[in-house]
Amino acid sequence: MPVSSSPATRLVHLGRPDPLPGAALSPPVTFTSTFHADGPVDYGRGGNPTWSAFETAVGDLEGGDALVFASGMGAIAAAMSLLAPGGVLVAPVSAYSGTVVLVEELAARGAAVVRRVDITDTAAVVAALDGAGLLWVESPTNPLMAVADLPALVEAAHDAGAVVVVDNTFATPLLQQPLRLGADLVVHSATKYLSGHSDVILGVAVSAPTQVGRTAYETLSRYRRAHGAIAGPMETWLALRGLRTMHLRVERACANATALVDRLQDHPAVARVRYPGFGAMVSIDVVGDAAAAERVCAATRIWVHSTSLGGVESQLERRRRHALEPASVPENLVRLSVGIEDVEDLWRDLAQALDSV
């Protein structure tokens, strides 16, 4: 690939085959369950060239070594395995509901002692780190869009002897690189911005180029093989193809989000706008109750009423409609994943939906 410090250039060229005469420009999809003996990989649960291409690209972007998983939850579960049985896990009160459920399950079966914190209250997090083995961070948080002081939390966690894992799904490596701020591991739902087209279920974990990071990489690699949390080659290839345009998608979605936030703040049906100041994820508290928020979601025609994010299409949903969503999330909160459509079309559609309240 060309030597470049630009993520845009690296996104286009990373993970491609060597530029030999007559070679394919794009990597093939390798469909195989086994390999001829005496090579670097013997069985399909241990590796795949399509995985390697995707892992090379994402690892370079985050500044570490990547491992692809069958889903974002697969990567999250693998990362949680870094905590010793019965160890202390410091985790956010409000976070992605799948993560919250997994943390609660670990606590219920005695696999972890969980200390729940407001991840934006740095002093409270530091106070909870005494004796901790793992600090889990989301920033921005899902769906409240709160921002943590990552450098301060990483330093305090390492002083306490804890491993730091950051879910970087919302920010993407284009807007935030936690490993360069000292984190030990980053996880992504690659279903979201990395693949970007709402057609893939995939996860990835990226470990830091440090001793702790290398140990984490080996632990997660064994976990992936032993637990069968492996990605399909077709899904991985699609994610790599989607990755090529992530810089364009994120740039457009962020610009759209900024424009919409300015207008949402003045709309009488919006009680509160939750926006971290960067990225393309926004949450709003609709004036009224849960039913009012549901009416907004049901009234859009361009915005897709669905439960995901990070695709080219704009999506929205009332998060508390899901039984597993933490009670810290207001009943009238609507999460917006701003896509790449024409911003005027997005605003007209969203405004008429809000007017229906």
263 is an active site residue: no
**Residue 177 DSSP symbol:** -
Q: What are phi and psi of 354, to 5 degrees?
A: -65, -35
Cβ contacts of residue 243 below 8 Å, gap of 6+?
A: 11, 15, 54, 57, 58, 194, 195, 196
96 is an active site residue: yes
> Which one of the listed residues 45, 214, 225, 272 is annotated catalytic?
45
> Which one of the listed residues 10, 96, 224, 275 is annotated catalytic?
96
> Which one of the listed residues 192, 249, 274, 318 is annotated catalytic?
192
To the nearest 10°, the Cα dihedral for 202, 205, 206, 212? -170
167 is an active site residue: yes
> Which one of the listed residues 167, 217, 224, 275 is annotated catalytic?
167
CA dist 260 → 196, 268, 343, 344 (Å): 20, 14, 8, 9
Within 10 angstroms of residue 310's Cβ, the number of other Cβ atoms is: 28
Helix orientation angle between 233-243 and 49-62, rounded to the nearest 10 degrees? 40
d(CA 121, CA 112): 22
d(CA 309, CA 337): 5
Neighbour-count burial for 106-121, b at 16+ CB within 10 Å, e otherwise:
bbeeebbbebbbbbbe
Are 170 and 253 contacting, i.e. CB atoms less than 8 angstroms apart? no
Parallel, antiparallel, or unpaired for β 270-274 and 203-207? unpaired
Q: Which residues are catalytic?
A: 45, 96, 167, 192
